[in-house]
Structure 1
């Protein structure tokens, strides 16, 4: 481990020892969808439909820019998920700290409902990559709300996973930096307009189909494609 991981895990151990009643709360946050992706996906819908800055002569341009950022946030999140899995697959395997015998005593006994944790490398955190990518898109659309979104991703998604030993601190830091970086690059005007144009045109021409598909995508994103990941894991390792 590096200095950051060693210091943070030691600090977490002190909190875990003196706050046993706090562990069930952290477990609930990690296992539930509402304090994770649901809130950030709801903020993307808010950005899509917000109208307070879309009035006046430049209203249509402002609205289009906002919706481009939503598309970019979603695209960046999906890219982050794929990139996270590829990095975890091709980089040296890193056992999660909760399963590391030398570190197990540093973490509270916890029940984390994620059956693929033992076989998926810890680095980088795909949760941090995905939700920091989405939060960065929200930040580009609205700084005040975006600051909350980034804090939400760090405090309610990243820190609990460190506390329970699902990830090393550097897994979360690297994932957050990669997710933010992906959205920042994707938000460049030349990329943003080209990526978003087909989606916005489709939304205008076939609104029923678009919003139906957007609902399904929102659900899958909020659950981080959990059912599909478990199914893929069973098909790959169970056959």
Structure 2
């Protein structure tokens, strides 16, 4: 662990030792989907349905933001699989830190590399995309990502600070690139027209997509892990 990670992680562990109630609250925030993705995704629905002269532009931005979140999530997983394996702080005995609720937090994470955080990548992409459309709401969305997605995962030992910083950078960069007009205009209008011409099918598929995003594709990932083990 580098000095930057060590100083922050040690400080957070000392906070954890001072309040059991606070630790349980943080653990609940880290687990609950509504604390992570449901709120920013609900904001995207508000952006989509907001009336006004620039409604089509906003809808194109929503499409680009969703795609950037999906790509950021995939990039986070790709980097975790291809970069040198980094043991999560929760399992690393060399750092000599005892994390709160370790038995409950780290049941399924031992074989998953710590860097980068795919949670930070996905939700920072969504938050930064919201910022590009609604500035003050976007600031709140970014703060929400930092306080309710990134910090709890560092506090509980699931990630190092640099893991969530790296994931956040991937997410913000993905959102910035895919929302640029020259690139956005190549794919977003097609999806907007599809939603306008076939709303029943479009909103049905949108519901499924938002559900999977909110749950971080838990079920598809679980199915994939079973298939890999079976093979």
Q: 2:145 matched to which residue of 1?
A: 153
Deviations 1:69-128 (A, max 9, x none): 10011000110111111100110000111011233633112413762x111111000000
Match of 1:82 in 2: 74
- On the 8 A contact 1:10/1:106 being kept in 2, the answer is no
TM-score (norm 1): 0.93
SS state of the match for residue 194, structure 1?
coil
Kindly tell me the number of residue pairs found equivalent between the two proteins: 230
- Paired residues of 1:128 and 1:158 also in contact (CA < 8 A): yes
- C-alpha distance in structure 1 between counterparts of 2:106 and 2:93, whole Å: 20
* 1:180 to 1:114, Cα distance in 2 relative to 1, 3 A: farther
Q: Supply the distance in 1 between the matched residues of 2:176 and 2:112 (Cα, whole angstroms).
A: 27
**Which deviates the most, 164-173 or 194-203?**
194-203
Cα distance in 1, alignment partners of residues 164 and 95 from structure 2: 18
* Cα distance in structure 1, aligned partners of 2:110 and 2:96: 14
Report the counterpart of residue 129 of structure 1 in structure 2: 121
**For residues 220 and 40 of structure 2, what CA distance do their matches in structure 1 show?**
20
Q: TM-score normalized by structure 2?
A: 0.96
SS in 1 for 2:94: coil
2:90 equivalent among 83, 87, 98: 98
Structure 2 gap ranges (5+): none
Query: What SS does the aligned partner of 1:184 have?
Result: helix
Contact 2:90 2:106 in 1 (8 A): no
Alignment partner of 1:64 is 2:61: no
What stretches of structure 1 move > 4 A for 4+ residues in a row? Answer: none
Unaligned runs of 5+ in 1: none
Aligned Cα RMSD in Å?
1.3
Alignment of 1:180 with 2:172, yes or no, is: yes
In structure 2, the partner of 1:214 is 206
